[in-house]
Amino acid sequence: MADGESQYVTATVGGQLVGLPIERVQDVFIPDRLTRVPLAPPEVAGLLNVRGRIVTIVDMWQRLGGERRNERPLAIGIEHDGEFYGLLVDQIGEVLNLPAAHAEGNPINLDSRLAAVSVGIHRLDTQLMVVLDVDRVLEFGACAQAA
């Protein structure tokens, strides 16, 4: 990997292409048999046993805005503060090697839900990719104030 390049795992959420820094992504899995959590924040889709760990599944359509487009969504596994989370997305794309020079800050008129969790936009040939700040994606519910 050349200097000034970053690797991103890409995914789509409600038609929007997003990218997550590859070093934060642990695995990708198919969520099955979710345990719903009553009274939880709307962003929490449920809990899941992934190889003996209890993983909190985050509904990214709720978090970022957008319609679910896939009846069999995938989950991107990440770790945050010693806890495990799975981000539900419509589709997982390829891993992209992107030069930092192609990144820009958020446009000022970006959807506020996206702006809250985005660290910038990458201009790809055919579309734009929103780079997500994983930590900020998880700032909701009881922990939103801890930031």
Would you tell me which residues interact with another protein (CB under 8 A)? 33, 35-41, 43-44, 47-49, 52, 54, 56, 81-83, 85, 138, 140-143, 145-146
Q: Among residues 56 and 118, whose Cβ is nearest to another protein?
A: 56
> Residues 94, 17, 131, 143: is their CA dihedral positive or negative?
negative
Smallest distance from the beta carbon of 117 to another protein, in angstroms? 14
Smallest distance from the beta carbon of 102 to another protein, in angstroms? 29
Residues 6+ apart with CB under 8 A from 38: none
Can you give the length of the chain in residues?
147
Burial group, residue 131, by CB count within 10 angstroms (0-12, 13-18, 19+): buried
Smallest distance from the beta carbon of 59 to another protein, in angstroms? 12
Q: Among residues 86 and 129, whose Cβ is nearest to another protein?
A: 86
Q: Are 14 and 109 in contact (CB under 8 A)?
A: no
Q: Among residues 25 and 138, whose Cβ is nearest to another protein?
A: 138
Amino acid identity of 70? N
Q: Among residues 101 and 142, whose Cβ is nearest to another protein?
A: 142
